[in-house]
Amino acid sequence: MAKYRKLGRTSSQRKALLRNQVTALINHGKIVTTEAKAKEIRKTTEKLIALAVKEKDNYEEITVTAKVPRKDKDGKRIKEVVDGKKVTQYDQVEKKIKKDKPSRLHARREMLRVLYPVTEVPTEVAGKKKNTKKVDLPAKLFDEIAPKYANRNGGYTRIVKIGPRKGDGAMEVLIELV
């Protein structure tokens, strides 16, 4: 008996497809796909969420001092002339950051092995590079998804059958985070 479905693809194509679909599932919460793909996606997603649940509180908060440029009401940097040169003015700000402990850092890197980088584009400026932001999916797993499943032992995803696809008759399903 095989350990996984080949999905009619080479290993590199299959790995890329599964990574793409797992990334979309974690980013959006639910996706529509075929039944065979959904069953493969479920395996990887369950492992990632279990890893996030295990390591969700494994960090320490530390306070750091950072230099932040002073800005005017329009959001532009304030510059002052010193010795004939324009120099940006800076303020000292104390920030609290989460510093991962080694096991959580390892978990984050294991997640990044599977998940693709995601860039979110606001709808009003679609098609432009300005105002796009990168989504930190491991942080989303640790901070949003893992607390929901903290007292649950597995079964983080649900597969709901929709019906056969019109083109080829493949069974379509909705896979979602419970």
Architecture of domain 11-58+101-177: Alpha-Beta Complex (3.90)
pLDDT above 70: percentage of residues in the chain: 97
Number of residues that this document lists for the chain: 178
pLDDT at residue 78 is higher than 70: yes
Which region among 42-46, 64-68, 81-85, 126-130 has the lowest average model confidence (pLDDT)? 126-130
The average pLDDT across 114-142 equals 85
pLDDT of 147-175, one tens digit each?
999 999 999 999 999 999 999 999 999 99
pLDDT-based confidence at 76, cuts 50/70/90? confident
Q: Where are the domains of the chain?
A: 11-58+101-177, 59-99
Q: Which two tokens stand for residue 134?
A: 């990168």
Cβ pair 131, 125 in contact under 8 A: yes
pLDDT at residue 130 is higher than 80: no
pLDDT of 7-37, one tens digit each?
999 999 999 999 999 999 999 999 999 999 9
Q: Could you tell me which of 133, 138, 135, 108 has the C-alpha nearest to residue 122? A: 133
pLDDT at residue 124 is higher than 80: no
pLDDT at residue 126 is higher than 80: no
